[in-house]
Amino acid sequence: MEITVVRHGQSESNRSGLWQGQGDSPLSEEGRLQAGALAYRLDGHHYDLVVSSDLQRAVHTAEALGYEPEIDPTWRELDIGTWEGRAQEDVAADDPDTLAAVRRGEDVKLGGGESLAEFDARVGAAFETLQARLDPDHRAMVVAHGGVIASLTRYVLGQARSFWSGFGPLENTSLTHFRVHDSGPMLISYNDATHLGPLNRWTQERHDDGNTLLTLIRHGQTDANIDDRWQGVTDGELTIDGRAQAAALADWYPGLDTLYTSPLQRAQDTAAALADVLGVQVEHHDGVIEMDLGEWEDLTTPRIQTEWAHLWEQIYDRGEDLPRGTTGESLTATAARMEAALQELAHRHAGAKVGVVSHGGAIRSYVLDLLDIGHAGRDRLAFVDNTAVTHILISEDSATIADYNVAPHLE
């Protein structure tokens, strides 16, 4: 089953920069326009069930999308008690100790309302109840709130409770997708607000403030992708569809200041399509190559499971992060290599927009490391799709995931 969670459009409290929890602030004019843009994007999409928080900013967003939602107050935003409707700087001045404790992830009640533990328990229960109502082939939509989606994302990824999760804030009317398998839920994409523009507002503002923006791009489709072969560092060209995906990406994506690519042909071909349209030079960087799969290179999953049953069990059943195919790389080693390469590029091009064409395993390994869930969380985060984009903001002291696996050019 698939569950798409939408953050409501901008509210009047959002517009005014006020703390907003369960107060019933209406949509602003911009919020209504955002909902209209999302309605256009989702035209023709079918959902077997649409549920909304009972707060009017969520209900009115769902209605603007053309749905008559089922109303469920358990999807309400966090109760922030006496902080409700107050300016953020006033709360910071009047209650700095509580605010600092919240940011450390301590279990305190915000403004005397809910604690993060109480909130996470409520959101987790709502998600479990929703799953129980859906058949395996069903698709559902929930229209809710930024705090709800952040809590649900932590729940699905198995992250420790914290005000800081590695992700940036959710854009109004953004889409976050989850898929539920027999083994549990998985995050497919995060904070996709590309109907409002390629970069969400927070990302653009942070970049304007001097943060380096890394645009991580997976290469287009290859024959190995179609055949379910573990491609790794084995070279190969794009398929016809893969070239079309790269061309569509180039038509959609805005300017980059510089562009790097893995040395493998499938990444080079994808980068070339971007460079032709954006007018930038392409440079190779060995540090962003795909995970080395050792003796598993170019084999199918069933063959690996049969011929390498013991190693497969160690890695994927027992959770041991061993080198793939005996002589390849572990997920941790791949993440460390990617982090070193990307930090080098961010330092070299401080404050710039840096495009990096890489690979599904390499990008996911890096993101799993940023989220501090690593190999143990591998089944909770999907691989990025061919030519999908993930934005990372690099500041002096942190790397923040602005969005993950967004690809409107493939819709």
Q: Catalytic residues, which ones?
A: 8, 77
Cβ(202)–Cβ(369) below 8 Å? no
139-144 and 49-52: which strand pairing?
parallel
Report phi then psi at 407, rounded to 5: -155, 65
How far apart CA 34 and CA 197 sit, in angstroms, is: 11
How far apart CA 128 and CA 310 sit, in angstroms, is: 34
How far apart CA 273 and CA 244 sit, in angstroms, is: 10
List of residues 6+ apart from 168 with CB closer than 8 A: 191, 202, 203, 206, 393, 400, 401, 402, 403
Helix axes 29-42, 56-64, angle to 10 degrees: 40
How far apart CA 345 and CA 55 sit, in angstroms, is: 44
Cβ(268)–Cβ(281) below 8 Å? no
Q: Measuring CA to CA, which residue among 160, 189, 180 is closest to residue 6?
A: 189
Q: Would you state the structure tokens that stand for residue 291, as one six-digit string?
A: 């995970």
List the alpha helices (DSSP H) in 174-217.
201-208
Residue 315 is given by DSSP the state I
List of residues 6+ apart from 357 with CB closer than 8 A: 217, 218, 219, 259, 260, 261, 262, 267, 268, 270, 271, 274, 288
Enumerate the β-bridge partners of residue 187. Answer: 178, 381
Specify the 3-state DSSP secondary structure of 14. Answer: helix
Residue type, 179: R
Helix axes 360-370, 331-348, angle to 10 degrees: 90
Cβ(168)–Cβ(370) below 8 Å? no
Residue 193 is given by DSSP the state -
